[in-house]
Amino acid sequence: MSETHGSWTPEGEVNPALREEAVIGALKTVFDPEIPVDIYELGLVYAIELADDGEVKVEMTLTTPSCPSAQELPTMAEEAVRQVPGVTGCRVEVVWDPPWDQSRMSEDARLALNMY
């Protein structure tokens, strides 16, 4: 298990340490309005990068380029991550390579959608 430490500000307050698990938890609160599974379990999140200063970069995709939620899902993901203690900023980038396919879904997502 990796240790995580907070940091001291000049005023002596402890900032919460940013953990990838917390960012993943926030992303799991974002659901595609058309699919009853969160974007993380759907396999739409490709990468999460955490900087020492609390900046977070998320690379995600959509199920198709013509996804009706193309504008709102990245914004919803960014807003969710910004709520995580220790996050100072977030940038969500939509990528198309590699293309998403059903093999990226978790087993729980496949069961929820009867796609096993």
> Look-up: residue for tokens 């058309």?
34
Q: What is the pTM (predicted TM-score) of this model? A: 0.82
Q: Quote the crossing angle between the two packed helices 20-27 and 72-82, to the nearest 10°.
A: 140
Rounded Cα distance between 83 and 17, Å, is: 14
Cα four-point dihedral sign 27, 22, 19, 111: negative
Residues 60, 54 contacting (CB under 8 angstroms): no
Tokens describing residue 58:
């998320």
Is pLDDT at 101 greater than 50 in this prediction? Answer: yes
pLDDT at 79: 98
Is pLDDT at 5 greater than 60 in this prediction? Answer: no
Question: What does the mean pLDDT of the chain come to?
Answer: 87
Tokens describing residue 54:
């609390």
Q: 10 Å Cβ neighbour count for 17?
A: 14
pLDDT at 3: 39
- The rounded percent of the chain whose pLDDT value lies above 90 is 67
The stretch 68-74 carries a mean pLDDT of 87
- The rounded percent of the chain whose pLDDT value lies above 70 is 85
- pLDDT for 75-94, tens place per residue? 999 999 999 999 999 999 99
Confidence category of residue 32, pLDDT binned at 50, 70, 90: confident
